[in-house]
Structures are given as structure tokens and as C-alpha cells.
């Protein structure tokens, strides 16, 4: 049974069920999502070589996952920096920022081209997730342009590569070209067009949801919150 890749609509339906009938809070699932992102990074990018990690956070949940990942990366021995230009006024996000500030993780709202290339060993793209639709608005249009230039460090995308259509992939080459993707809960259809290192996070889906949506999720090893699905056979929904 091949792993199922999700349409945007199904991904949203699963997300809603986790919060309604599943009883989860955003705090909880964001904590586990961010932890899985940080853990996947440790498996590919060792902190001795990729110490300086710039986490680029968008205005929504994907950005929140990035803020949580930054905190765990700090505890895993990395030196995270956060770029967070449009900061949410929601209480949860304000607390996630405080948590990073208490670790003295620098948070900036502007990206300079030179520092992007010279001051970072790795970039985490936590700009947009599976719920993204429409046009990319300022300042993120410019951010994505900057992140698309060559000679930047490898990019790790959270859930979907930012700028990609959730289902159709990197339409018109508008999006980033990450080296690694961490799909959350289940991969979205756009991941069919991704060829790099691919991890799955979200070890919290109840069996009932797995069956209802025929997710055919792989087994997670040990107590890991992520599983390497780079070479796993997949099936479009």
C-alpha cells in the first residue's frame, strides 16, 4: 500500500478533524510539528558543519512551526537566527517569540542578501504551508526572490516549498528549490514534484483518521518524531 499524497482540501479536512474530534490544541500540534522539523534537520545537517541556521517564518501556522523548530534546534546545539517579518498578534505566537527570546535567539524583520549567503549554513523555509492560496504578497514576494538566488546555503522546507502550488508544484518556477522537505501529517500532492531528501513528521494521527483517509502512513522508527520517506513508493490521491 503506497503512501497517499493529499489534495489541499483533504489536508485541511484532516487538520480540522485533529482539532475538533481529535481534541488537540494548536499549541500541542505545533510543538510536535516544530520538534519533528528540528529532529529531521539533525538527521541530515550535523550541527558541527551546519551550525548557523536561519529560520524564515511566515505569518501563519507554518511560521509557528518554524518558531518551535528554532527553539528545539537551540537545545540540539545549533545557533538559530529567526527572520520573522510579519509577526502574528495571536497570544500563542507572541509566546513562541518570548520562548525564543529567552534563549537569546536573534529575531530580525529584514533580510540582507549578503548576510543570507555569508552568515548562514542552512535556511529553514517556514514561510507558507498547506493552506496557502492566491498571490504571494509583500514582503514575502521579495523574500522568496532573495531565497531563490544561487550560492545560498541549502534550504529545508516545512510542509511545502514556499511559492509552490500545494497541488501542482513549482508552477512557473515561482517557488523555492529546497534540498529537503519535511511533510507534516502526510505529504501534499506538490511533493510529487520534489526530488530531494524527504521526511514525514506528525506521529500523532489516530488510526481512525489514517483509515478514513487511507493515508497508508509508514512506521516511525523508535521514538523518532520523523521518518525518512525519500525512497518510499507513493500514490497520488
- Site residues (vs a second copy, CB under 8 A): 21-25, 27-28, 31-32, 38-39, 42, 71-72, 75-76, 92, 94-99, 101-104, 203-204, 206-208, 220, 222-223
Nearer to a second copy, 132 or 199 (CB): 199
Of 12 and 99, nearer to a second copy (C-beta) is 99
Q: d(Cα 91, Cα 224) in Å, to the nearest integer?
A: 29
Does the annotation place 63 within a ligand binding site? yes
In angstroms, give the least distance from the CB of 13 to a second copy: 16
Residue 159 in marked binding region: yes
* Cα 38 from Cα 226, distance rounded (Å): 10
Q: What's the min distance (Å) between Cβ of 225 and a second copy?
A: 8
**Annotated binding residue 76:** no
How would DSSP label each residue in 143-196? HHHHHHSTTPPPEEEESS-TTSBTTTBSGGG-S---SEEEEESS-BGGGGG--S
Nearer to a second copy, 141 or 211 (CB): 211
Cβ distance 47 to 78 under 8 Å? yes
Q: How far is the CB of 17 from a second copy (least distance, A)?
A: 9
Q: Is 133 annotated as a binding residue?
A: yes
List the alpha helices (DSSP H) in the chain: 8-19, 26-44, 61-75, 91-101, 113-118, 140-148, 207-212
Contact 159, 183 (CB under 8 A): yes
**Strand 226-228 to strand 197-201: parallel, antiparallel, or no bridges (unpaired)?**
antiparallel
Contact by Cβ (8 Å): 183, 191: yes
CB of 89 to a second copy, least distance (A): 15
Residue 205 CB, nearest approach to a second copy (Å) = 9
Nearer residue to a second copy within complex by CB, 3 or 32: 32
Q: Which residues are annotated as a binding site for (6S)-NADPHX?
A: 61-65, 129-135, 159
**Residues annotated in the binding site for K(+), as ranges?**
62, 125, 162
Amino acid at each position: 500500500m503506497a503512501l497517499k499524497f493529499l489534495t489541499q482540501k483533504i489536508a485541511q479536512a484532516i487538520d480540522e478533524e485533529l482539532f475538533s474530534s481529535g481534541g488537540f490544541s494548536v499549541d500541542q500540534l505545533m510543538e510536535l510539528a516544530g520538534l519533528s522539523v528540528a529532529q529531521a534537520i539533525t538527521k541530515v545537517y550535523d550541527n558541527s558543519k551546519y551550525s548557523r541556521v536561519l529560520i524564515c517564518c511566515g505569518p501563519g501556522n507554518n511560521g509557528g512551526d518554524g518558531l518551535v523548530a528554532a527553539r528545539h534546534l537551540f537545545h540540539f546545539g545549533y545557533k538559530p537566527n529567526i527572520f520573522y517579518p510579519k509577526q502574528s498578534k495571536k497570544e500563542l505566537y507572541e509566546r513562541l517569540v518570548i520562548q525564543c527570546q529567552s534563549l537569546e535567539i536573534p529575531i530580525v524583520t529584514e533580510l540582507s542578501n549578503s548576510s543570507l549567503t555569508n552568515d548562514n549554513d542552512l535556511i529553514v523555509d517556514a514561510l507558507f504551508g498547506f493552506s496557502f492560496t492566491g498571490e504571494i504578497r509583500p514582503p514575502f514576494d521579495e523574500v522568496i526572490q532573495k531565497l531563490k538566488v544561487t550560492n545560498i546555503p541549502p534550504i529545508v522546507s516545512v510542509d511545502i516549498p514556499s511559492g509552490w502550488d500545494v497541488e501542482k508544484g513549482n508552477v512557473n518556477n515561482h517557488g523555492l528549490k529546497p534540498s529537503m522537505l519535511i511533510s507534516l501529517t502526510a505529504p501534499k500532492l506538490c511533493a510529487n514534484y520534489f526530488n530531494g531528501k524527504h521526511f514525514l513528521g506528525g506521529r500523532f494521527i489516530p488510526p481512525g483518521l489514517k483509515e478514513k483517509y487511507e493515508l497508508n502512513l509508514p512506521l516511525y522508527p523508535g521514538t523518532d518524531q520523523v521518518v525518512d520517506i525519500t525512497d518510499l513508493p507513493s500514490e497520488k490521491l
